[in-house]
Amino acid sequence: MKQSTSDQHIREQAAIWVARLHADHVSEQVKTNFCAWLTQDTRHAAIFEQVSDSWDFIAGVARPVAVPPATLSPYMPKAQPVLRRRALLPLLVAGAGCLVLSYPRTSVAVRVLKTRTAQTLTHTQPNGVEWRLDTDTILLLNEKTMEGRLLRGQVYLNCPTASDIKLMVGNLQATIQKTGQFDACLTDTTCELLALNGQLSVSNALSTLPAQIITKGQRIFLSKNSKYLTDHPNMQNSLSWTQGYLIFHDSTLRDMATKINRYSEKKIKILSKKIENKKVNGIYYISKNNEFLTMLSTLLKIQFDETEHEYLIYEA
């Protein structure tokens, strides 16, 4: 009985999160808080998927969506009048459990795809679209509307056939209508999209600036004043994580530690500010921390000690 009561409470929380994430503007704080909520209990992600399915059944069908034949599910609800989100929320909160039971779908509306530290995940849709999640990543994916929202981490997207896909990465909203491969990254310091092959139409959700097209080899990100910035990064370096390693070229020791810490339960901690900006060049094979730090200690004349939970780096 306690389990049932607890599940109902989680449904109520999930319904509130669904409403927040469907708002026209979702703040970074809301996304951060949602990520934290997902990791608090192993049931949160599954119940969130169920409640989001109910949301889609009631309100998400208000706008017709062209679905390729390969993605058609056995049951496709007919269009119904739009319900205001504020009016819908009490309905979801009060009856989330029975709504899920009354909706005979074989797949949920929104999937929560997530990975833990040192974990990766590949999710392939029926139409062949592939989403490959890097470590410590959370992606919300609506497979029916072909809309994704990256909440944290990095994802590689492969579109072998022409598909109308929308992907939100921070305040960047990308539209993909042709074949191609793309990489998206969202961390505390990074919000960017890279066209490995094909092209993207990218707009800023918080700006009236016109959308910008980026093509093969281009990367787009936002400056502090929300203006578009583009460059042409080294493609091999950008995609190396999909092969199990990271390439550092003239990176600072601080930036290197930040990136490696995403792949390791045991974190790197730099004890001396004097060495934070030392330049690092090398290849880090994921999970090979000791070997990599041993090499660095020789090249950069630094020392490291390994404790139960950390690697402590300091001046030699």
Closest CA to 311 of 272, 274, 267: 267
pLDDT over threshold 50, residue 67: no
For residues 233 and 291, state if they share a domain: no
- State the pLDDT at residue 298: 85
For residues 88 and 132, state if they share a domain: no
Closest CA to 200 of 225, 226, 223, 221: 221
- State the pLDDT at residue 150: 92
pLDDT tens digits, 225-244: 677 889 999 988 888 999 88
CA–CA dist 185, 166 (Å, integer): 15
**CATH code of the domain covering residue 276:** 3.55.50.30
For residues 100 and 41, state if they share a domain: yes
**Least confident window among 63-72, 89-98, 174-183:** 63-72
Q: Which residue has the higher pLDDT, 293 or 13?
A: 293
For residues 76 and 200, state if they share a domain: no
Burial classification of residue 159, based on how many CB atoms lie within 10 Å of its CB (0-12 exposed, 13-18 middle, 19 or more buried): buried
For residues 82 and 159, state if they share a domain: no
Mean pLDDT of 277-297: 88
Q: Which residue has the higher pLDDT, 134 or 16?
A: 134
pLDDT over threshold 90, residue 27: no
For residues 164 and 103, state if they share a domain: no
pLDDT over threshold 90, residue 299: no
Closest CA to 52 of 179, 114, 130, 140: 140
pLDDT over threshold 90, residue 216: yes
- State the pLDDT at residue 163: 80
CA–CA dist 64, 60 (Å, integer): 9
pLDDT over threshold 80, residue 19: no
- State the pLDDT at residue 42: 79
Mean pLDDT of 9-27: 74
For residues 10 and 95, state if they share a domain: yes
pLDDT over threshold 70, residue 80: no
For residues 127 and 188, state if they share a domain: yes
**Least confident window among 53-67, 102-116, 151-165, 174-188:** 53-67
This prediction's pTM = 0.69
Q: Which residue has the higher pLDDT, 271 or 44?
A: 271
Task: Centre a 10 Å sphere on the Cβ of residue 220 and count the other Cβ atoms it contains.
Answer: 21
pLDDT over threshold 60, residue 200: yes
pLDDT over threshold 80, residue 102: no
Range of the domain at 201: 109-241
Query: Could you tell me which residues are beta bridge partners of residue 194?
Result: 183, 219
Mean pLDDT of 34-55: 76
For residues 93 and 117, state if they share a domain: no
For residues 280 and 210, state if they share a domain: no
For residues 298 and 204, state if they share a domain: no
Domains: count for the chain? 3
